[in-house]
């Protein structure tokens, strides 16, 4: 597994970055102001327990604050969760976010793969047959990274039921949940009160343009597990700046809806143009598009001043699979013009 992520603007500062799936409208002004004000109070240690932030999240998610944990990005919580439960054997539905396997390898966990259908990349009923007694943990992402495809509601309910029967822990990554249209959402954690071995992950990174601040959170019915996760890493992992940024972001009730509208319009444009060029694309519930075309496209687009995400290092994929973030209109048109030139 080659350890590579998108968003390396520091190696390529001159390129337009389509490789990182961050809100193209940037960080809301109200959040920037909150960060600036918080900078006046960075001398003391931050609140170790993130009490004000957890209370704000609890109000949004309708979850008891005691069942919430905040982290230095969602990735921090992936490692803490794995460290807390120390699974011996885990199942990954691939392709999926690389950080799951990286965290699992750190604790010596054996990793098994379930290959998503190569044509649709949908999670199918056959997945249930892989949930056997030897599996300690499954990691699922909806919408999935890199495909943008969500798990069907009826199937996820069956997965929860079987995991309860087999005592299999669940890491449910919903970091792109805010981009899913409300009519397409479901409440996969509706049964969490009767199953306390599932951690649901969310992040501020994508919707609120806070990748540089590093702020994510998770919630789980098992308060003992939440406390154990808190101890499975260094204290003060969420800075004062990050905590205040999160609180300010949660006060912007109408902001996610506005962003979803913008992303929806630009997504329609990009999907249409890509399909007209004969490029194979998958419908996405997220703020990025997964597609397949010829090899070496990333290198050719760099020559045009554009950086995209080459997905060939994802388990279950090969050369020719790519992912692009949905950007502002002028950048999206720039990408399409470049593709028409070199495709």
β-sheet with 198-203: strand ranges across: 68-71, 216-219, 198-203, 169-173, 137-141, 89-94, 110-115
What angle, 0 to 180 degrees and rounded to 10, lies between the N-to-C axes of helices 74-85 and 98-106? 40
What distances in angstroms separate CA 33 from CA 38, 109, 258, 318, 322, one per listed residue?
A: 9, 43, 20, 43, 36
| Residues 305/279/145/135 CA torsion (nearest 10 deg) | -140
CATH architecture entry for 16-26+254-342: Alpha-Beta Complex (3.90)
> What residues does 325 pair with on adjacent strands?
288
- Nearest-CA neighbor of 221 among 172, 257, 186, 267? 172
What whole-number distance in Å separates Cα of residue 124 and Cα of residue 34?
A: 44
Q: What is the pLDDT of residue 195?
A: 75
The domain defined by 29-250 folds into 3.40.640
What whole-number distance in Å separates Cα of residue 170 and Cα of residue 222?
A: 12
Task: Tell me the pLDDT of the chain (343 aa) as tens digits.
Answer: 444 666 666 677 789 999 999 999 999 999 999 999 999 999 999 999 999 999 999 999 999 999 999 999 999 999 999 999 999 999 999 999 999 999 999 999 999 999 999 899 999 999 999 999 999 999 999 999 999 999 998 999 899 999 999 999 999 999 999 999 988 887 655 555 567 999 999 999 999 999 999 999 999 999 999 999 999 999 999 999 999 999 999 999 999 999 999 999 999 999 999 999 999 999 999 999 999 999 999 999 999 999 999 999 999 999 999 999 999 999 999 999 999 998 7
Q: What is the pLDDT of residue 6?
A: 64
Q: What is the pLDDT of residue 184?
A: 85
- Nearest-CA neighbor of 43 among 234, 213, 215, 240? 240
Q: What is the pLDDT of residue 2?
A: 47
- Domain ranges in the chain are 16-26+254-342, 29-250
Q: What is the largest CA-CA distance in the chain?
A: 57
């Amino acid at each position: 597994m080659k350890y590579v992520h998108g968003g390396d603007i520091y190696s390529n500062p001159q390129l337009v970055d389509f490789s990182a799936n961050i809100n193209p409208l940037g960080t809301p002004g109200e959040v920037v102001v909150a960060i600036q004000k918080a900078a006046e109070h960075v001398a003391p240690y931050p609140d170790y327990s993130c009490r004000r932030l957890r209370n704000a999240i609890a109000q949004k998610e309708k979850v008891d604050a005691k069942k919430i944990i905040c982290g230095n990005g969602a990735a921090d919580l992936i490692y803490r969760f794995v460290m807390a439960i120390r699974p011996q054997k885990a199942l990954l539905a691939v392709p999926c976010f690389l950080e799951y396997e990286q965290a699992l390898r750190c604790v010596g966990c054996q990793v098994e793969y379930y290959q998503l259908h190569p044509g649709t990349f949908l999670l199918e009923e056959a997945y249930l047959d892989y949930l056997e007694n030897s599996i300690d943990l499954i990691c699922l992402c909806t919408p999935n990274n890199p495909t943008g495809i969500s798990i069907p509601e009826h199937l996820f309910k069956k997965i929860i039921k079987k995991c309860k029967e087999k005592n299999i822990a669940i890491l449910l990554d919903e970091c792109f949940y805010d981009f899913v249209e409300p009519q397409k959402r479901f409440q996969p954690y509706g049964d969490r009160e009767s199953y306390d071995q599932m951690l649901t992950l969310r992040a501020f990174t994508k919707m609120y343009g806070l990748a540089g601040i590093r702020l994510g959170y998770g919630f789980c019915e098992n308060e003992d597990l939440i406390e154990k996760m808190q101890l499975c890493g260094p204290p003060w992992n969420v800075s004062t700046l990050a905590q205040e940024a999160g609180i300010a972001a949660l006060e912007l009730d109408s902001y996610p809806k506005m962003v979803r509208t913008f992303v929806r319009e630009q997504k329609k444009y990009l999907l249409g143009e890509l399909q007209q060029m004969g490029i194979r694309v998958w419908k996405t519930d997220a703020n990025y598009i997964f597609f397949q075309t010829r090899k070496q496209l990333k290198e050719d687009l760099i020559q045009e001043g554009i950086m995209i995400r080459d997905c060939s290092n994802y388990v279950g994929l090969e050369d020719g699979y790519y992912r692009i973030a949905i950007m502002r209109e002028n950048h999206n048109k720039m990408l399409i013009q470049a593709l028409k030139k070199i495709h």
